[in-house]
Structure 1
Amino acid sequence: MSENDETNLPVDAFEPNRERVKIDAGAFVQQGNTVYRIAQVLDFESIIGIAVETGRSTPLAVAELRPVATDKEPAAAPDLTEIADPDWREAERRFAAIQPLLGRYMVGRIEVAGRAKEIGVDTATLYRWLQRYRATESVVALIPKKRGWRTGQGRIPTFAEGVIDEVIRDFYLTAQRPSAQKAVIEVLRRCQQHGIDAPSPSTIRARLKAIPERERLRGRGYKEKAKNKFLPAAGNFPNADYPLAVVQIDHTPADIILVDDIHRKPIGRPWITLAIDVYSRMVVGYYLSFDAPSETSVAMCVAQAILPKEEWLLLHKVEAQWPVWGIPRMIHVDNGSDFRSDNFKQSCLAYGINLEFRPVKQPRYGGHIERALGSLLKEIHDLPGTTFSSIKDKEGYDPEKHATMTKTEFEEWLVALICKVYHERRHSTIGMSPLRKWEIGIFGNGEVQGVGLPQRPVDRLTVLLDFLPSFRRTIQTFGVTIEGMTYYAEALRPWINAEDKEAPGKKREFVFRRDPRDISAVWFRDPSLNQYFKIPFANQSLPAMSVWEYDQAKEKLRREGAKALNDVQILQAVTELRGKVEEATERTKKARRQAQRRREHEKNISPAAPILPVRSTPPTPSIASLGLLDIDTEDFGDIA
């Protein structure tokens, strides 16, 4: 816990922290002010640590461990929305270069030198990329630095980069299957034709080798070969051979009618967004809400999947294990718009998550998540108020008449079901319980070598904000306007009417993030301080409201003929709509549902703040003077 946690004050400003705790034998960690070397990982909850100063060993709780600070001041990288496309392509190229080396427990110089030769870069360069990526486990760490280029770094002019992409797309990846040598000659020819300095042949060949095999096979006319190699057979999924290798996510309405908190009358079915680990079938995260599936549902579910669950279990009064946290290598989803937002794609890329979309009209790709959802929904059919899964099953049963559970009560039941029943019950396909399969994947057994505990994120709020919707806006004298609402705080003052240094005469845009469940404040990232600041409504008389309630107010005013909306009109509209809802809650299900949605939003419970919206980042003293660490860690800005 941090110093701020002791006061239980809401967070109004903080510096994003994307560090993760490495929990492996030999790694250095910190508990309180003492630095330890991990001697042994006992289980999901505890380790044996040896204090580096005294040499004494002691058992330590995994949940209390923190990374050790160094004296090196991390250099803040630019915000992702400010990163140019060529730099993104270069980061992805570097990631493709080191990717074959990332899954290995130990990587020797021979392997690195062999890979460096294969892709045409210097061995030291490849080592540097590996070091930078492993410091943060983020592709952002591989973005070219802007402090100037040193000899040997191989920067390619933007225009030449575009020519290489063009040749790969419309020349190399074609059914004619030209050789790599012909592709090199074609790049040189086109560069000469356009008067562009051509990149070296080795650089071009490196780009060709970095093309993913699946893309190469499909593009060069080997569709059947690609299908046989990469399509999953029934009951299998390619490369899902260790925990968090592949996570599938999907939404479904729960087969139950819930009641509101006040009148305990029916308000309808909630939505469940569920994420499972394909290797073990463990539920890694979920999100339950009366809101229809959206980018927010995905953000909440993914954040909960990544973060530890101890406080979530306390919130829902469930005494059980849920030892799941960490960054998945791949997230596999359907083609819904909520998964295809640019913000979600960039966030996944920055976290090193490969986002894969289910091929259209090929249901076998989503079989694992659909079976998991089906298993959970089947258990719901024993609850009062169930809608069952078919009209035939529901015949003679009135779900609304029998509905008795509130969302809070149902969610407590759901968490208990996941942890105490689903995770513990033998799964027919894997031949054991999901929890046991997860344990084997992490710690290993006589036949399987475990991958070890995943790295634990240090800061909850940073993870959540990285996946929530973002906006880029200029800052005016009155503050910032986002979708018609104005926000202001002193933190904005230094940036009023700031100019864009890259485009003289144009105002600079800044990154803002918000939780759509409560738009009474947004988070502003100050690029010079590398900190987030909470910026409230400029008009403090406006109540907290969700984006959905705000949209209803705007629609009401438009129907009444209002053209230019202002704060007074919005306040009046929201007040009037809430009044009508309160009057109708006793009589109509729709009104009760809307009132309950508002109450749920006002709780402000999220994976980042399952108990209270407080900070969770502790101050960490340095041990660089002990000579234990020498890591070139590069911090980076907002994920947008």
Structure 2
Amino acid sequence: MSTETEYVISNDAFEPIRERVNVNVGGLVQRGETIFRIVQVLDFESLIGVNVDTGQSASLRIGDLRSIERSPTVTQNASQDLGDIADEDWRIAQERLAAIKPLVDAGRLGRENVEARASELKINPATLYRWLQRYKAYGVVTALIPQKRGWKQGNGRIDQDAEALIEQVIRDFYLTLQRPTAQKAITEVLRACQAKGITPPSPTAIRARISRIAEKEQLRGRGHKEKAKNKFLPAAGSFPNATFPLAVMQIDHTPADIILVDDVYRKPIGRPWITLAMDVHTRVVTGYYLSFDPPSETSVAMCVAHSMLPKDDWMLLHKVDAEWPVWGVPRTIYVDNGADFRSNNFQQSCLMYGISLEFRPVKQPRYGGHIERMLGTLLREIHDLPGTTFSSVKERDGYDSEKHATLTKSEFEEWLVTLITKLYHRRLHSAIGLSPMRKWEIGIFGNAEVQGIGVPPRPADRLTILLDFLPFFRRTVQTFGVTIDGLSYYAEALRPWINAQDENTKKKKDLIFRRDPRDISTIWFFDPKLEHYFKIPLADLTLPAMSIWEYQQAKDKLKRDGVASVNEHQILHAITELRSRVDEAAEKTKAARRQAQRRKEHAKNVSPAQPLPAPKLPVQVQSAMALQDGLLDGEINDFGDIA
């Protein structure tokens, strides 16, 4: 790859920003070019700040504030894509996080606390202060990666055979009643690699994987079941460590107990899926995702992003006049053992944001009791709606759900947001003795008996959060672009990386691409040199926007038709034919109407990152921008939230 290539950052590119805006008393923030020190937080929307230059006080809207600008050397590591991090860098960052975690958890700090912790770890207090400053500014583990090391692409990566062997040794050798040391486990991995002719990983890489084993799993696997039980088993009606807002968040999926109708014919199309997240301490709903798609990694990404982001625009989207002042990064996410929660990408994304991901023990339903009771509460409210399926055949006896179905997905979602914000959040919750929203307010601002944790920092960039949780792929760039699932993508941003070599391995360089499965007509490419994401369209611009599920249906049709070698033009014709059949049958069959509505929902491109469509620019302005950036009309980023 030539080092002299001219890079041009277009409107289809943005730099990932993981910094968060600290809106608690004493913090420094910017509004425009003016810097303020926060002296009083009034509520979830406003605060009082003092202009550091003039000393004058001003009332400030929290949504208008941003963090004070920092030097590029401080922000370097926090801008990287999660998939581009070497194992050794992960290990160092995790060690540093473990060092400062007691100080982070303590909230307000005194010098004596930091010095005591530094003495305990035998490091300089100034070093701890520096790590604390970086982590609190960005809230992501990568901010703790040593800056002098930079980002060594490919360093520390091991092949799949070695990775599988390490997992086997950890499972069958390390997590046993004999309790061998980590060093013996490393020796066993190296021995097994030699016996099987596999290139051995470094001892550091093996030790890093051992260090990632959850404490509960270590205790149980190494014969300390009682200790694990006493430490992690929740008492009846309680949950371990859920003692303040965002301490523990639970997520679960369920089909809603209602038949919805399509937008066009208003005929039944079936039940939607709800993915719901709740804060265990306060019982508030932190976020949700409603879709006709079955639960997947995408459902989880959308729900977690919705939970972490402010919801002002979301309320405007659904035309609900209410407040939902809930956002922030949870300390722990507690989920069941579904494959969508166990994906490597989701686990790595949680690790990036310092979120501890814990899984419910198999066949022990009490661990998921809080989220299941909440889902049960919401589903019971649905039973009053036309088209409800109730919760059992016995309850539904004599009621024709499809005949009475009247609500579209948009209408049902508006009802759901209203239910959450105006009824559930404001109603007395018997288990906590308060309404969930009052419990949340006390947990944030405090009262005479409880010290609040303060308003959670607001993410500086919405799209970065969503992309961090969406699925990613590693691909090399060929002369024709990059291929994912048989589809080719190309844009000028890929040109400098065609046939690029990894500096360490001398093999073709694997690069990071992310994708929203609801619309695979474009993907996001992370340029490791520019540290920007670029939106890359399909190389064949005649192909329509489509979801991964619709694309798979088209491939399956061609396979049934006996087409041996599938190309993109055949895919285009197959999708057109399938859509025509769906449209023709939509008035007659429920399955066809559901398929058509599913396609329509995907085409809306609504996400927690951009609930509302980007404002349209005048035609003259679009034309001028297109000439300046070499873009055609309409190619401006769909997300609209680009730095």
C-alpha separation between the residues in 2 aligned to 1:209 and 1:471? 25
Structure 1's 387 and 91: CA in aligned 2 closer, same or farther, altered over 3 A? same
Structure 1's 167 and 449: CA in aligned 2 closer, same or farther, altered over 3 A? farther
Residue matched to 2:41: 41
C-alpha separation between the residues in 1 aligned to 2:356 and 2:574? 43
Q: For residues 195-248 of structure 1, give each alpha carbon's deviation from its aligned partner in whole angstroms, at most 9, with x where no partner exists.
A: xxx99xxxxx99999997645644553311321222101110000000000000
C-alpha separation between the residues in 1 aligned to 2:444 and 2:518? 36
Does the aligned pair in 2 maintain the 1:423–1:433 contact within 8 Å?
yes
After superposition, where does 1:163-178 map in structure 2 within 5 Å?
A: 175=177
Residue matched to 1:549: 550
Does the aligned pair in 1 maintain the 2:271–2:292 contact within 8 Å?
yes
TM superposition shift of 1:435: 0.2
Does the aligned pair in 2 maintain the 1:248–1:275 contact within 8 Å?
yes
Residue matched to 2:330: 328
C-alpha separation between the residues in 2 aligned to 1:601 and 1:206? 39
Q: Secondary structure at the match of 2:544?
A: coil
Pair 1:29 & 2:29 matched: yes
Does the aligned pair in 2 maintain the 1:315–1:611 contact within 8 Å?
yes
Structure 1's 279 and 184: CA in aligned 2 closer, same or farther, altered over 3 A? closer
TM-score (norm 1): 0.85
Does the aligned pair in 2 maintain the 1:96–1:210 contact within 8 Å?
no
TM superposition shift of 1:527: 1.2
Structure 1's 139 and 18: CA in aligned 2 closer, same or farther, altered over 3 A? same
Residue matched to 1:563: 564
Q: For residues 276-305 of structure 1, give each alpha carbon's deviation from its aligned partner in whole angstroms, at most 9, with x where no partner exists.
A: 000000000000000000001000000000
Q: How many residues align?
A: 588
Does the aligned pair in 2 maintain the 1:119–1:206 contact within 8 Å?
no
* Residue type at the aligned position of 1:21: V
Q: For residues 373-426 of structure 1, give each alpha carbon's deviation from its aligned partner in whole angstroms, at most 9, with x where no partner exists.
A: 000000000000000001111111001000000000000000000000000000
Unaligned ranges ≥5, structure 1: 1-9, 150-155, 200-204, 616-640
C-alpha separation between the residues in 1 aligned to 2:148 and 2:168? 25
C-alpha separation between the residues in 1 aligned to 2:105 and 2:440? 18
Q: For residues 232-276 of structure 1, give each alpha carbon's deviation from its aligned partner in whole angstroms, at most 9, with x where no partner exists.
A: 011100000000000000000000000000000000000000000
Q: Secondary structure at the match of 2:67?
A: coil
* Residue type at the aligned position of 1:31: R
Does the aligned pair in 2 maintain the 1:470–1:512 contact within 8 Å?
yes
* Residue type at the aligned position of 1:567: E
Pair 1:516 & 2:517 matched: yes
Percent identical among aligned pairs is: 66
C-alpha separation between the residues in 1 aligned to 2:589 and 2:187? 71
Equivalent residue in structure 2 for 1:241, among 240, 243, 246? 243
C-alpha separation between the residues in 1 aligned to 2:168 and 2:482? 39
TM superposition shift of 1:102: 1.1
Q: Secondary structure at the match of 1:54?
A: coil
Pair 1:59 & 2:65 matched: no
Structure 1's 148 and 304: CA in aligned 2 closer, same or farther, altered over 3 A? closer
C-alpha separation between the residues in 1 aligned to 2:592 and 2:171? 54
Structure 1's 414 and 11: CA in aligned 2 closer, same or farther, altered over 3 A? farther
Q: For residues 442-493 of structure 1, give each alpha carbon's deviation from its aligned partner in whole angstroms, at most 9, with x where no partner exists.
A: 0111111100000000111111111111111111111111110011111111
Q: Secondary structure at the match of 2:339?
A: coil
TM superposition shift of 1:354: 0.5
TM-score (norm 2): 0.85
C-alpha separation between the residues in 2 aligned to 1:525 and 1:56? 43
Q: For residues 357-384 of structure 1, give each alpha carbon's deviation from its aligned partner in whole angstroms, at most 9, with x where no partner exists.
A: 1010000000000001000000000000
Q: Secondary structure at the match of 1:338?
A: helix
Structure 1's 122 and 135: CA in aligned 2 closer, same or farther, altered over 3 A? same
Q: For residues 305-362 of structure 1, give each alpha carbon's deviation from its aligned partner in whole angstroms, at most 9, with x where no partner exists.
A: 0000000000000011100011000100000001111111111100111111101000
* Residue type at the aligned position of 1:556: K
C-alpha separation between the residues in 2 aligned to 1:240 and 1:388? 32
TM superposition shift of 1:612: 1.5
Residue matched to 2:604: 603
Q: Secondary structure at the match of 1:511?
A: strand
* Residue type at the aligned position of 1:463: I
Pair 1:360 & 2:362 matched: yes
C-alpha separation between the residues in 1 aligned to 2:350 and 2:239? 20
TM superposition shift of 1:190: 10
Structure 1's 283 and 70: CA in aligned 2 closer, same or farther, altered over 3 A? same
C-alpha separation between the residues in 1 aligned to 2:370 and 2:422? 20
**Greater relative contact order structure (CA < 8 Å, 6+ sep):** 1
Equivalent residue in structure 1 for 2:489, among 482, 487, 490? 487
Q: Secondary structure at the match of 2:294?
A: coil
Does the aligned pair in 2 maintain the 1:474–1:510 contact within 8 Å?
yes
Q: For residues 73-92 of structure 1, give each alpha carbon's deviation from its aligned partner in whole angstroms, at most 9, with x where no partner exists.
A: 44533543232333323322
Pair 1:499 & 2:498 matched: no
C-alpha separation between the residues in 1 aligned to 2:187 and 2:353? 37
Structure 1's 215 and 114: CA in aligned 2 closer, same or farther, altered over 3 A? farther
Structure 1's 519 and 395: CA in aligned 2 closer, same or farther, altered over 3 A? same
* Residue type at the aligned position of 2:595: Q
* Residue type at the aligned position of 2:394: K
C-alpha separation between the residues in 2 aligned to 1:551 and 1:188? 42
